[in-house]
Amino acid sequence: MEPKPLSVQVVGNVDYIPVIPYEDDVNVSGSVFTSKSGNHSVILFKPLIKSGIIKFDVQAMNQLIGLGIAYDPAKFERNQVPQAIAKTSGKIYFGKGGIHDNGKFDNGNYVALELNMDSRPRTLSFFIDDEEQKNYITDIPESVSFW
């Protein structure tokens, strides 16, 4: 089976630097990231988040498997799947456990993660098409980056 290309568009007014682990796996055109191989790629977005309330939006254009946050320092190898915090295939995962009862996303949906690094405990909330989801995660580490 021939792999379909993956496309994700980052939206919003966030200054970010994508960290592409293997440039031969991902094509970057402005704010659109497209897979150009059959390899899984995890793109980290810098800077590290240490304070403030930050919302990270993406549009799932084709085969978005997940997005999440990674503890600092994080480095992902080719075909490595993150096991930090993620929303994947309609479920939210933290490590190996899932959070159920949130909405599912599909191609065309806008999916967002909102970090509140100023609250105690620090929190991560999930949005699909600007609708905040029921479940969220607390006790976020002191320094994280989006992926």
Instruction: Report the chain (147 residues): mean pLDDT per 10 consecutive residues.
Output: 45 71 88 85 87 86 76 78 50 50 81 91 92 90 89
Q: Which domain holds residue 15?
A: 7-146
The closest alpha carbon to 89, from 70, 64, 110, belongs to: 64
Q: What is the pLDDT of residue 120?
A: 95
Structure tokens at 92: 């939210």
- Considering the domain boundaries, does residue 101 fall inside one? yes
In a domain, 2, yes or no: no
Instruction: Please tell me the distance from the alpha carbon of residue 111 to that of residue 131, in angstroms, as a whole number.
Output: 9
Tell me whether residue 64 is in a domain: yes
Number of domains in the chain: 1
CB 83, CB 95: distance < 8 Å? yes
